[in-house]
Structure 1
Amino acid sequence: MTRLTCTLLGACAVGALASAAAAQTTLTIATVNNGDMIRMQGLTEDFTADHPDIELEWVTLEENVLRQRVTQDIATNGGQFDVMTIGTYEVPIWANQDWLLALDDLPEDYDVDDLLPSVRTALSVDDTLYAAPFYGESAMVMYRTDLADEAGVEIPDQPTWDDIMTAAEAMTDQDAGIYGICLRGKPGWGENMAFITAMANSYGARWFDTDWQAQFDSEEWTSAVNDYLTMMNEYGPPGASSNGFNENLSLFQQGKCGMWIDATVAAGFVTDPDDSTVADSVGFAQFPNKDGVDNRGNWLWAWSLAVPASSDAPEAATEFVAWATSQGYTQLVAEEEGWRAAPPGTRTSLYENPEYQEAAPFAEMTLNSMSSVDTSAPSVQEIPYTGAQFVAIPEFQGIGTAVGQQFSAALAGQTTAEQALQNAQTSTNREMERAGYQD
């Protein structure tokens, strides 16, 4: 009798363990290898402590690789990921394909109304949120105030490209390993083409006319690309055709760049005294414009967390998304890393917080830059598309990357600006005609 009881109890214990194991949910999260995402991974014990039945597995990838992997997975209903890190480009396109789950059941204390209006709108379809912003950004100029002073140049709060060119030349000291300007050169629709598209917008260019004809043969595109190549070839670092966001961040933190024009999210990293050798001498200015053009790039992006419809754990995935993009997570980062490190560009309450305002000298510039973006009119010319530093059509991933390869090749000296623009014009029109946009 005793042996039978023990045997039964043992079986019960084994059954309980098996039941517990069965109840364990594993979330596979695909994310980008940017600093804020790396920081989040280090803080997830706060989430798992409250959710012992949820285990997190991370797939952390470089931007271009991440985009390829998640696009392939979601388009084929692969189900490899439960949470995806995607941006303002993908969200409306994928939501309209029914590839994403609506985030319409977030906890009451999540406070969706606290999200910055421009970001919330960009991540919604028919007023329904399909991704939650982890951090948001526009683009701006970050520069070495000490080098500018030594060179005798002033960078105004609202610079023109002539101001930038003059400052880049004055701050360049190649013998000392200091380059006047660092810009993206790595090919990709979300890498070099994010920057070059924003720059072209600020020169008055547009990707397409109202008949969806490519415009790379225009005066505006020619001027923008030639000025970009001149700055990078004369005042930029060697090997720039391989540099993206992370590479330029490292160069700036090491004191190698006089100026860096890129995403506003970088401000928290270049002013971090633990990682940046120039943290105490960084100034900020708005994205430049060309004289006579009322456009400062119209860059708007939010790295956001979304739940693909193919996930087999949608409730757990939504719980994680809500945690990682909540006001509570922002408070956690502030407690662990300081307010300067709080994920920027997503919530109104952050920019109303006096502690953040004091810790982040770039806060006002970031908010103003994001608030001024009009994604319905990224160009001053008449256009048939919306977007910002991208064109919001499904074909843009392939087209933008192909064009980015042409401009990266020109930067590497493998072709001329004229030939790169001509190739971009030909290949883009070919793809747009094939896709049925052109009559």
Structure 2
Amino acid sequence: MATQFADITPRLFPIAPAPKLNVRIAYIAGPSVAAVAAATAQLPQETQGATLDDLAQAPGGELLAWDKACEALEDAIQARDEFNENVLTPLDGMLKSVADAGHDTSALNAYYRQQYAKFDELVGAVSAATDALALTPAFTAIGLAYKIRALAADEFHLNTADNTPLVEAIDADARALLDTAIEHNPWMRGPLIRWQKGYARYQEALRKAQTYYAEVLTPADAAFNLVRDKWPTRYDFSRDPAARKELDDVSYDEIEAISDANWRECYDARLELYRCPAPSATELGVKMKLFVENDDHDLGRAGEVAQHMMHDARRFGRLGSHPIGDEALNKAFAGLRREMIDYQTRPAVEDPRIEDDKADARVDALEKVIYDARCKTIEGVVAKLRIGFQHAVESSYGDLALLNPSSPEFVEGLRMGDMSHQMLWAAIEDLARIAGLNLAEQGA
């Protein structure tokens, strides 16, 4: 039996009036409020009611200009690379195939030249976008590093045009970052003072070298050439004493020697600055700027300089660990690994006790270095914990904690081992992950 509804005619229910807020807002025109109101009134009319997002994206804003410059560069690089991949590379393959088949390639070569001309335009667009980015102020050390990386990728130091505006723009970024770099790790106070003194010495040496070059060496060189140009290029002055004396009177060998000494002093000051631990990422950006600006990648000590900057980068990646590494500790840990490898691969002898006693003495000496060391890096702490884990386990798989913790034997031994050992090894792996450390490579 179907259910019957009495009345299903729609009904219109009256809408209740909206509730009234029962909130009273008190406004107190105190000194702070009055000061904020006065400062706001002095802002440009278009920014007085703007939000933070509005200000960040305002037309003509410096931040927007930087974003647009980065976007333009990335677009130019993408267009160049896509053209190379989709047009030039297939054309190269086609030309080779046609030539290998013995067919005439003149028409295809003409087409290839046309396409390569387009590619040259795209390469020029990348260079133009790179220059535009370099001339746009960077606001952070990361931005400066991005700018330097773009210039290095474009090989701007090989440009035939004057690179002075680009170098001056990078220098302006570095100076601005130095002026605002007031937030340093308190543990880096010593390195900061050393950096400031080193940078001041470098600036003074650079000023001295540039001033002497411009005000003394350059006029002396011009005066010498003015006299030298009186005679032909291959003129034999040894047969003309009068000409020889006139040329000797304007000789500037001593001036040139002094200028060379000034530039060597400047180089030494810059090299010492590279050796200074960077107190923050800002100073690392300055090092990179100087490295590119002075073409120091061509120097014989470029590897040493790069090593110092690598240490800086690793330190910042390790959450601000101390700049002085655990060199002695890490060296001792590597020695322990070698001793274990030698022990396992040592050929059988009639009486191994003598060799064992010598090896035990070496191991004891290495372990004492590690025990006595006060760790300054997470890497040093991990080395100590791995040795502690090896002795705590007291099982054959424990030796693999130093040699090869990824081996199946170690993994299975750890799985079947004590929970406290599992927790200790988990802590070692956590520290290694935080430090960006590969356990299999440590000490290898």
Band the TM-score falls in, shorter-chain normalisation: under 0.3
Quick check: which has more Rg, 1 or 2?
2
Higher helix share: 2
Q: TM-score, normalised by structure 2?
A: 0.21
